[in-house]
Chains A and B, each alone.
Chain A
Amino acid sequence: MRIAAPLRTLAQRGAFLMLLLSAGAIMLFGKADPELFERTRTQVTDLMAPVLTLLSQPIATGARVVAEAESLVDLREDNARLRMENARLLEWQATARRLAVENRELRELLAYRPDARARYVTARVIGDKGGAFLRSILINEGTAAGIQKGQAALTGEGLLGRVESVGQHSARVLLITDLNSRIPVVVESTRVRAILAGDNSALPRLEFLSANSQLEVGQRIVTSGHGDAFPPGIPVGVITSVGETGVRVEAFAESDRLEFLRVVDYGLRGILSEAQPQTGPSPR
């Protein structure tokens, strides 16, 4: 029995080498100019989004069924009620804190600029972090729903990440733990500014701190709004350690059992979306 050897003929070897070179070229070009393949990528994710949505729904439902079967009936009801109330109260708490700080700052200002109205788009998570070294997820809403590059993605607890690329019906969200993620933040109580830098670990670091900043474990971190990238005041996390590995922040938003998230449009354009043509419905 002759065993077929696909690398035997010259043509097959040539095809193999050509594909290898193409893959290498794609890697290099993708590194040199990240925007280059963005359109193709978003078109592919747009194509796959319906299938992925279909696949993730039964799994999410199954997970929910399992979770509910695990608890007793009355405990479950009580639990659910308390959790909803907790979530609502957390949102109020975040609003109240933001208002308090804003109030304090406004007193020092002469002119008053009213906050732009926020618009939320809820999307289902259809693609999980794709591997050992990646921290970005896919959602099943895109420009057709008003989502644009650079917008903040939140859960009820806090900031989850930022929209990195968007197609018509799908978008990719870069989590704050990803090694490419850089979010301008500020310590809520002391207004010390820093950059929250992810490094693929579960706890992102605070970078570019001034030398004499006093940071303590337990301080809350919120977005600072600098660079107009995000609206200010979105809760991000708490400082969990100050040491040789840097200042580490534990995020409020849980990225593990994600099913839905909200993308916020405050009408800010920021630095990311400069080159982006207006393809979706304008928020204003």
Chain B
Amino acid sequence: MMKQTPLQKLDAFGRCAMPALFAVLLVLLSVTPLQIPGYSTIAPSFLLMAVYYWAIYRPDVMPFILVFALGLLQDILSGGPPGLNAWVLLIAFGLVVSQRRFFIGKSFPVIWWGFMLLAAGAGSLTWVLTAILSDTVVAPLPGIFSFLMSIAVYPMLTLVFAAIHRLLPPSAA
């Protein structure tokens, strides 16, 4: 590969930062009050969608430390037990990344189905951890609705991720 000018390097860096910046925006949007009654209790997990998509297609733009930091940011802004989302997202990311080979090149319904499995697992894990960390059994119903919302919203968000994906410089590997 020919040597890059500083401007090209800056451009490449800016493009690689876009998935991360968009993920931060997703976290902010997920806590912004939308004035829709009842929405916040069944809100989809946008961050999980981002982590899933980039784990499959471009894990080089989503390093572990970033997944950890995004999870912590979500914990802090949502008021939940610190570390919970960071832990669940790291596990989700690691799991998907290790199974990339299966998902790359597959059609969208397969990817969607894979997300469904991941969301179910992550949702259950979050529910169990919330129960443990707060010493009470929390009603799982809001979590189930949130899971269904996530599955429904994923295709729309994939379009945005794909658009960002096209802007990225080619992978180093």
Contacts and interface: CB of A to CB of B under 8 A. Distances in A.
Contacts of A257: 35, 37
A275 interface: no
A48 interface: yes
Contact of A27 (B33, B40, B81): B81
B157 interface: no
Interface stretch (B3-11, B12-20, B122-130): B122-130
In this complex, the member of B43, B76, B130, B136 whose beta carbon has the largest number of chain A beta carbons within 10 angstroms is: B76
A20 B74 CA distance: 16
Given A41-B82, A138-B79, A6 B34 contact: no
Q: Which of B63, B81, B145 has the most CB of A within 10 A?
A: B81
B29 A55 contact: yes
Interface in A48-79: 48, 51-52, 55-56, 59-60, 63
Nearest to A180: B134
Contacts, number: 174
A201 B34 CA distance: 20
Contacts of B41: 129, 131-132
B59 interface: yes
Main secondary structure of the interface of B (DSSP, over half): helix
Interface in A114-145: 125-134, 136-138
Interface stretch (B95-103, B111-119, B159-167): B95-103
B83 interface: yes
B100 A132 contact: no
Interface residues of B, number: 62
Interface of A: 2-7, 12, 15-16, 19-20, 22-28, 30-31, 37, 40-41, 44-45, 48, 51-52, 55-56, 59-60, 63, 125-134, 136-138, 164, 172, 174, 179-180, 199-201, 256-259
Interface of B: 28-43, 59-60, 63-65, 67-68, 71-74, 76-84, 86-87, 90-91, 94, 97-98, 100-101, 104, 126-127, 129-130, 133-134, 136, 138-139, 142-143, 145-146, 171-173
